[in-house]
Chain A
């Protein structure tokens, strides 16, 4: 996270507990999606820098890294789309902002492979009644699918443009 990304300037951007936790989550998510058996004895490095942190840090990192991996030509099982969801005063909301996250309610982060609806990572803070869990996960899944449509459209437009240019 860049030092200027949060409301108050971050003193130590690397090595603190939240960054290490996010690093580990990102690693687990992409190990599930990238076909690593095609890269023996190799290492794939993904570097993400957050320029403006206003909620949904993990989700935006995952979405950005997915686009980067697709652009690099590294084989993936499917796009990885992530979104956060939570309960604010009994209403399920998706894509929480920083203010909504710090209001103390439940916060669920979901990383999904949209086509087969495989969950790459599910992470939740605070307590949530069991009855609400399914509704919240459905809301997050739907948001991830919408995100997938946006990412897919951008990738296909770029593909079309470049293949037309190359084909000439």
Chain B
């Protein structure tokens, strides 16, 4: 059987953008002087030296009134209150779980921040503490929301809603956090037949749309019924689309993922991993997105 082999080579630079270049972006590198005006407050990505505001990361300067910060291109997830994240349990500690969310420090999921089975509202007892491992073990994936941020930057998560909780069968795709657009909702049931959770931390979870939408103890039990082949194909195609979009640095949100999926229907699923096919799909997606905006 003939196999398709490829040798790694440097990626060709994009020939030119479809939209005209925006010259007003202020791009800086570490050590650049942003301004010598002392009236500004300094935000992330900057430091002061000799009354000069210098950049410490390579990225774009953002100015909001008197606050100047530099947003780097690629960074670990810096969570804010209200962000939806998808994380993996790394440790089970005395009254909390440690969750890995692609940020600088592991996030914390307190026992008091999860829903008890059956939806009871009571004080957590020592039996609940001992039963922690029955609910979430090391290696489980969860979807949660950021409740607060500790002083050192660690995030405190909560799953106190029926839509959050342990994730069952599906596929996880890891992209850079800066590619996930902040929207009102991050849970989407796509028309193509799968559902997707776009975590702000760059972890994207693709799963088959659950048959019944109402679950008594949200996210507590995970179904282990076998997923039909057509659903699996849709999920694989979506995964390849997301990988293509992230390779070409396109912002991820429900519309862009859906357009990319539709553009990729012309190719076989396994072809969508080839670089030239990826480029073609992403170009089509970009065009459609620009048409939709204009």
A contacts, CB < 8 Å to B = 35, 39-42, 70-79, 113-116, 152, 155-156, 159-168
Contacts and interface: CB of A to CB of B under 8 A. Distances in A.
14 contacts: A41-B105, A70-B30, A71-B74, A73-B58, A75-B56, A77-B54, A114-B31, A155-B58, A159-B29, A159-B59, A163-B25, A164-B22, A168-B18, A168-B286
A92 to B, nearest CB: 27
Contact of A167 (B14, B22, B29, B31): B22
Contacts of A113: 31
User: Nearest 9 CB-CB pairs, A to B?
Assistant: A78-B31, A73-B75, A73-B72, A75-B56, A165-B249, A76-B30, A115-B31, A159-B27, A70-B58
Contact of A163 (B19, B27, B248, B250): B27
Contacts of A162: 73, 249
B134 interface: no
A54 to B, nearest CB: 22
B146 to A, nearest CB: 19
A113 B58 CA distance: 16
Contacts of A167: 19, 22, 25
Interface in B149-165: 152-153
B30 A77 contact: yes
Nearest to A41: B152
Contacts of A159: 27, 29, 58-60, 73
B14 A161 contact: yes
Contact of B57 (A73, A163, A164, A165): A73
Interface of B is mostly: loop
Nearest to B16: A164
Nearest to B71: A73
B208 to A, nearest CB: 31
Interface string B29-66: 11100000000000001010100001011111000000
Contact of A75 (B25, B57, B73): B57
Interface of B: 13-14, 17-19, 21-22, 25, 27, 29-31, 45, 47, 49, 54, 56-60, 72-76, 104-105, 152-153, 178-179, 248-251, 286, 289-290
Contacts of B73: 71, 73, 159, 162-163
A42 B104 contact: yes
B17 A165 contact: yes
B30 A79 contact: yes
Contact of A72 (B13, B47, B74, B250): B74
B106 to A, nearest CB: 10
B202 to A, nearest CB: 13
Contacts of A166: 178-179, 249-251
Given A73-B72, A113-B31, A156-B27, A161 B21 contact: no
A37 to B, nearest CB: 10
Contacts of A72: 74-75
A75 B45 CA distance: 6
A90 B290 CA distance: 64
Given A39-B104, A159-B73, A163-B60, A168 B290 contact: yes
A132 B291 CA distance: 66
A165 B27 contact: no
A19 B75 CA distance: 30
A168 B105 contact: no
B290 to A, nearest CB: 7
Contact of B47 (A75, A79, A114, A163): A75
Contacts of A71: 58, 73-74
Given A39-B104, A73-B57, A164-B21, A79 B76 contact: no
Contacts of A168: 17-19, 250, 286, 289-290
A79 B31 CA distance: 7
Given A40-B153, A79-B31, 7 more contacts: A42-B105, A72-B75, A73-B76, A77-B54, A159-B73, A164-B22, A165-B250
A42 to B, nearest CB: 6
Given A159-B73, A167-B22, A168-B17, A35 B249 contact: no
Contacts of B290: 168
